[in-house]
Amino acid sequence: MPRLASVELSFDPSFRALWQFMKPQERPSFTAGLLNDMTKALDFVEDSVGHAESKESPIDFLVLASKIPGIFNLGGDLPHFISLIEKGDRETLRWYAHVCAKGQYRRAIGLDLPICSIALVQGDALGGGFEAALAHDVIIAERGASFGLPEVLFNLFPGMGAYSFLARRLDSIRAERMILSGRIYTAEELHAEGVVDRLVERGEGEDAVNSYMVEFTRAAPARRALLEARRIVNPISLRELMWIADLWVDAALALSPADLRRMRHLARAQDRRWEKLVDKGQDANT
């Protein structure tokens, strides 16, 4: 199992579950380092199948969670975006968008393996963080967790799968309404809407994932067939996600100086929050 700087991998043999805990070294957003490690984690799953004697997946569940208290993931790397947009660096911005789109596609199709993917959200899942959760088969959230797509506040739209996944979980009208609102939704609200599959009490998220895996395993053939049926009825293609990612790049490069100021304001707020968490962690270790 690879040792990664930004993702802690833990295998639970009792459920044949691979837990991926995001633990970013920088801000809790999708920096290049975190994206690279998340890609390596998915590569590891695929490689483990290739090395298995039976050529069957030794992993039944793929779980994404976070080690950061109160934060699942805050989304895109805003300071990086601002720098690229101000330089007009389309190539690098497009590279970032395509890496995200490819990762989202791999999660959405379960790596084309008989794997059930689960997102455990125990804190804020904003922008790309919300989108990452949406790419999973099941979303389990603790009370107090928050979800939102703030991109519209600086005249952008979420380009890493929000429309694709919300339109499939809900419908296009409600997906657009959510994207254009720019507001923060509670886990309770999204559970009522059907976006969050299971709502559990604070601190009970990991136990809830284990309980779900027990239920799934008891009726594994039926559950796996149902997941496959869902993918047949609501298929998603890499082409769709890449096309939308390219639209996002075009929209990002068209942002005005005023839009970038609003993006920078949000980035600074996120950095202040991260600095407080880092300081608190250092105090706890002294």
Domains of the chain, with CATH numbers?
Answer: 7-205+221-284 (3.90.226.10)
> What would the pLDDT profile of 80-124 be if each residue is shown by its tens digit?
999 999 999 999 999 999 999 999 999 999 999 999 999 999 999
What CA–CA distance (Å, rounded) separates 142 from 41?
25
Active-site annotation holder among 151, 206, 215, 228: 151
Structure-block tokens of residue 209? 């994932």
SS3 262: helix
Q: What is the pLDDT of residue 99?
A: 98
Active-site annotation holder among 8, 46, 91, 131: 131
> What would the pLDDT profile of 125-138 be if each residue is shown by its tens digit?
999 999 999 999 99
pLDDT above 90: percentage of residues in the chain: 90
Identify which of 242, 283, 272, 256 has the alpha carbon closest to the alpha carbon of residue 96: 242
Structure-block tokens of residue 244? 């939308």
pLDDT above 70: percentage of residues in the chain: 95
Whether 151 is a known active-site residue: answer: yes
Q: What is the pLDDT of residue 53?
A: 56
- Burial of 95 (C-beta count, 10 Å sphere; 0-12/13-18/19+): middle
Residue 52 pLDDT > 60: no
Q: What is the pLDDT of residue 284?
A: 41
* 71-73 and 61-66 beta bridge pairing: unpaired
Most distant CA pair in the chain, distance: 57
Whether 131 is a known active-site residue: answer: yes
What CA–CA distance (Å, rounded) separates 77 from 100?
12
> What would the pLDDT profile of 186-231 be if each residue is shown by its tens digit?
999 999 999 999 999 999 999 999 999 999 999 999 999 999 999 9
* 61-66 and 7-12 beta bridge pairing: unpaired
- pLDDT average, residue stretch 35-64: 86
Q: What is the pLDDT of residue 279?
A: 81
- pLDDT average, residue stretch 230-248: 97
Structure-block tokens of residue 131? 């989108």
What CA–CA distance (Å, rounded) separates 111 from 4?
20
Q: What is the pLDDT of residue 26?
A: 85
